[in-house]
Chain A
């Protein structure tokens, strides 16, 4: 039991961040707080990927020029992969971070458009003003 909880602490952390992000998106009334919840949600998935790439006793996956020369000359055998952590999830998460930045940019553009049109960022107030606009439109 202790091993189940303490051995997988990275995944518990990811789960906690995911739930916090979902709570922020659903329960908070301010639009900017919803966006912050969405960012936390995306970050939790990034942390999940990166936590899966770590190995026991491994170092940074950067090959020295000396090592590459030795392999080319045949002095040592191929590079042992167990000494270096897996670099592929890191590159995938670079793309995911860029996607997160772009989504945040678009979302803030939308928030500014909503504020310019309705002068509020609170969701209940926003729905009331939209309903008023609807009623005045159908009365025309």
Chain B
């Protein structure tokens, strides 16, 4: 039995989530509250298999798994190398912690819809894991659409304006996936193969045809829309704001990162580093768009009134960091970008869980209505928020500092001083919009207004339940731990992800 599990471990996680996506409606047919335990079982198993995969890759090197035992390039293969194992572990563990938080808040926000909601989450996780591990271009399209359709459903379930936001996201997401499919079609017509490693071997012989350039442009465009690269980010603020709390908390750390991972695969592992940087300056275009996106996201985030909308624009800026790291195309910047995938997943998940806690207890998450009584009512939540905010700004020893450090070193390598200035300015802008919340909550003494002194009472401790509090605190503590241990992560895994030719 264990031999079966270990030999087939690359393919087990997407399969597990797909199967549970079908089992959850059957199990929860009569009783709605059997849906959450079934999903937690799948999520726990996926974290365990993810850890096992990471150790397997570190000990033995990359693993190739053939579906149906058909040898590529005829068959579909799944490639488990260091980058795939790392990203899979990150998204599965963040999803597990967010789903612990979902136990209390989903029955409050979405009564009676739990089996369908958890089944959609399971299908979405299957799609994300499939995108990360596959080694076939068309299989990536299939998993991209599986995850996208579940995403549209997860966003539309919320209140008031969420169907319109989901509709807008549907139109843009379908255009993105269709452009990607057209790019795959161009590659298939000229090279005759759909396997990523095979296309990389054949591509140098057709490099000078305009088909290769069009394929690259279409695929970057498609993945850019999914990744919310500026100026293709239009769907993101509405989609993250109006979704229910658990949806935003599970989509924001994982969705755009998986699309950035797919962009990385297509740029460096299919087309090759020299084609993307020297023959056609696609990487330079990417860096400039990402830099403008960083500044734009940070400035728009300062102008927002609501916490979730501010975090959505902040996500646009953070995805700009990852795009900048990918576009710079040198080893330090790439390590910084992939480390930022881990850090941003933890930070954004923690921040969206804090927003969920606010909505659970206070009924809103409007920044201007937060006041000083919250530091007495919800002290642990505010502590987690402060740790995550400091990490977003980039203060050591929190994790956010180290990924920005590697990115800064990457910009210095080819003397791109302008990008270093962009990183520093955006850190200052991050400080502006996070510190105003911290100032509102912490810096004003209670009962400073003399008119309030007679009639106000001391606010009592009204913290959220522990099943919602513990994931928030684990994520916040995890930021400090990842920051302190980042040397191990870089030396152990991230040094092996550098593609050939960089």
Please give the residue numbers on chain A whose beta carbons come within 8 Å of chain B beta carbons, in ascending order: 25, 31, 34, 38, 41-42, 45, 48-49, 52, 89, 92, 95-96, 99, 102-103, 106-107, 109-111, 113-114, 117, 126, 130, 133, 137
Q: Which of B145, B149, B156, B181 has the most CB of A within 10 A?
A: B181
Q: A92-B138, A106-B153 are in contact. Are A42 and B166 (CB under 8 A)?
A: no
Residue contacts A-B, CB under 8 angstroms, 25 given: A25-B175, A34-B171, A41-B175, A41-B178, A42-B174, A42-B178, A45-B178, A45-B181, A48-B182, A52-B189, A95-B138, A99-B145, A99-B177, A102-B145, A103-B145, A103-B170, A106-B153, A107-B170, A110-B152, A110-B170, A111-B167, A114-B163, A114-B167, A133-B161, A137-B160
Q: Which residues of A contact B182 (CB under 8 A)?
A: 45, 48
Q: Considering the chains assembled together, what is the distance between the CA atoms of A103 and B142 in angstroms? A: 12
Other A-B pairs, 13, CB within 8 Å; known A45-B182, A52-B185: A25-B175, A41-B175, A42-B174, A45-B181, A48-B185, A49-B185, A95-B142, A99-B142, A103-B145, A106-B152, A106-B170, A110-B152, A110-B166
Is B188 positioned at the interface, with any CB of A under 8 Å from its CB? yes
- The answer to whether residues A110 and B174 also contact, given A48-B182, A96-B181, A99-B142 and a CB cut-off of 8 A, is no
A20 CA / B142 CA spacing, docked (Å): 25
A48 to B214 Cα, complex, angstroms: 15
Q: Is B164 on the interface with A (CB-CB < 8 A)?
A: yes
Which of chain A's residues have a CB closer than 8 A to the CB of B170? 103, 106-107, 110
Closest to A137 in B: B160
- Known A52-B189, A130-B161; judge A38-B174 contact (CB<8 A): yes
Q: Is the contact region of chain B dominated by helix, strand, or loop, or is it mixed?
A: helix
Known contacts: A103-B149, A103-B170. The answer to whether A126 contacts B164 by CB under 8 A is yes
* Chain A hits for B145, CB < 8 A: 99, 102-103
How far apart are A128's CB and chain B's nearest CB, in angstroms?
Answer: 12
**Residues B155-211 near A (CB distance < 8 A):** 156, 160-161, 163-164, 166-167, 170-171, 174-175, 177-178, 181-182, 185, 188-189
One digit per residue, 1 when the CB lies within 8 angstroms of any chain A CB and 0 when it does not, for chain B 351-390 equals 0000000000000000000000000000000000000000
Q: Which 8 pairs, one residue from A and one from B, show the smallest C-beta to C-beta distance?
A: A113-B163, A99-B145, A114-B163, A110-B167, A52-B189, A110-B163, A49-B185, A45-B178
Residues of B within 8 A of A107 (CB): 167, 170
Q: How far is the CB of B14 from chain A (nearest CB, A)?
A: 16
B192 to chain A, nearest CB (A): 9
Q: How far is the CB of B222 from chain A (nearest CB, A)?
A: 11
Question: How many angstroms from the CA of A2 to the CA of B363 in the assembled complex?
Answer: 68
| Chain A residues positioned under 8 Å from B142 (CB to CB) | 95, 99
**Residue of B171, B185, B188 touching A25 (CB-CB under 8 A):** B171
**Residues in B neighbouring A42, C-beta threshold 8 A:** 174, 178
Q: Find chain B residues with CB under 8 A from A102 CB.
A: 145, 149
- Contact residues in A for B161 (Cβ distance below 8 Å): 130, 133
With A and B bound together, what is the CA distance between A14 and B160 in angstroms?
A: 39
Kindly name the residue among B138, B149, B161, B178 whose own CB sees the greatest number of chain A CB atoms within 10 A: B178
A106 touches which of B138, B149, B185, B189 (Cβ 8 Å): B149
Q: Which of A31, A45, A113 contacts B185 (CB 8 A)?
A: A45
* Residues in B neighbouring A92, C-beta threshold 8 A: 138
Q: How far is the CA of A107 from the CA of B164 in the complex (A)?
A: 11
Which residue on chain A has the smallest CB distance to residue B185? Answer: A49
B110 to chain A, nearest CB (A): 14
B171 contacts A114, CB within 8 Å? Answer: no
A residues near B181, Cβ cutoff 8 Å = 45, 96
- Which chain A residues border B174 with CB–CB below 8 Å? 38, 41-42, 103
Query: Please, which residue of chain A has its CB at the minimum distance from the CB of B181?
Result: A45
Measured CA separation A103–B174 after assembly (Å): 8
Contacts of A95 in B (CB 8 A): 138, 142
Most chain B CB within 10 A, of A48, A92, A109, is at A92
